[in-house]
Amino acid sequence: YNGCQFPLISSSTTNNTLSRNIDCRLLAITQSHHISFLPSNNNDHNKKHKNKQVIYFYNLSLIELLDIVQFDYKQRKQIYSTQIYYNLIVETLLSEYTTFITSLYEYIFGYSSNDRNRQNIINQPMGSYKLYWYKICMLQPEISFIFRNYEILMNGADILSFLIIHSLEEDELGIVQESLEQILCVLLECLDILDNFIKSKIYKKLYYQKGYLERNEIINTLYKGIETSLMRIIMAMHNYLDQLELPQKNAQRLQSYLVE
Rounded-to-10 torsion of CA 232, 236, 241, 246: -30
Instruction: Count CB-CB contacts under 10 A for residue 46.
Output: 9
Residue 104 has a pLDDT of 94
End-to-end CA distance of the chain: 51
Task: Tell me the torsion sign for CA atoms 242, 93, 226, 70.
Answer: negative
Residue 183 has a pLDDT of 95
Residue 36 has a pLDDT of 39
Residue 146 has a pLDDT of 92
Residue 149 has a pLDDT of 84
Residue 121 has a pLDDT of 79
Q: How far is CA 159 from CA 66, 115, 196, in A?
A: 5, 38, 25
Residue 223 has a pLDDT of 94
Segments in the chain below pLDDT 70: 1-54, 111-114, 209-215, 259-260
Residue 63 has a pLDDT of 82
Task: Tell me the torsion sign for CA atoms 49, 147, 115, 188.
Answer: negative
